[in-house]
Amino acid sequence: MSLLQKNIFFLAVIAFAVLAAISCSKSDGNQGTGKETKQNIEESVNFALDAFVVNLITERGTNFLKASLQLELANASLLDRAKAKTAPMRDAIITVLSNKSPDELMTEEGKLQCKDELILTANRILGDNTVKNLYFTDFVMQ
């Protein structure tokens, strides 16, 4: 076999392997059919709450916290439930925030713990796994 024939044979084997790999990948699952799973269709959505202004626990005088936040809901169909439960959610969030001290909220760890507590509080009101995340969009202590 000449060198040219070996090269042509080698290229043919590579081309066959590539075609086989492409063929196998298209036959897996529902790729190429245009169908999407229910999980892909339902995307999370953010729900903004008006700003909160609360007194913080302190022995040194009066400290305030002004915080705005958004709740990341698991999907858009939960927006109506969140709107209907805005008053109970605001009340519970005010209770959580007003029981914090400036020292707790000064650190990154303290803010993260506060966020986790607020997510749990919101999920108690809206239903488990409704709120996926919480974002502070404004956070000022004085």
Q: Give dist(CA 106, CA 135) in Å, integer.
A: 16
Which pLDDT value is given to residue 111?
96
Residue 66 bridge partners (DSSP): 53, 140
Which pLDDT value is given to residue 2?
67
Q: Give dist(CA 22, CA 34) in Å, integer.
A: 18
- Phi and psi angles of residue 59, each rounded to the nearest 5 degrees, phi first: -100, -10
Which pLDDT value is given to residue 87?
98
What lies within 8 Å, CB to CB, of 23 at 6+ separation is none
Is the pLDDT reported for residue 25 higher than 50? yes
Is the pLDDT reported for residue 136 higher than 50? yes
Q: Per-residue confidence at 59, pLDDT binned at 50, 70, 90?
A: confident
Span 49-62, mean pLDDT? 92
Q: Give dist(CA 14, CA 106) in Å, integer.
A: 61
Which range among 9-13, 81-85, 130-134 shows the weakest confidence by mean pLDDT? 9-13
Q: Give dist(CA 85, CA 103) in Å, integer.
A: 31
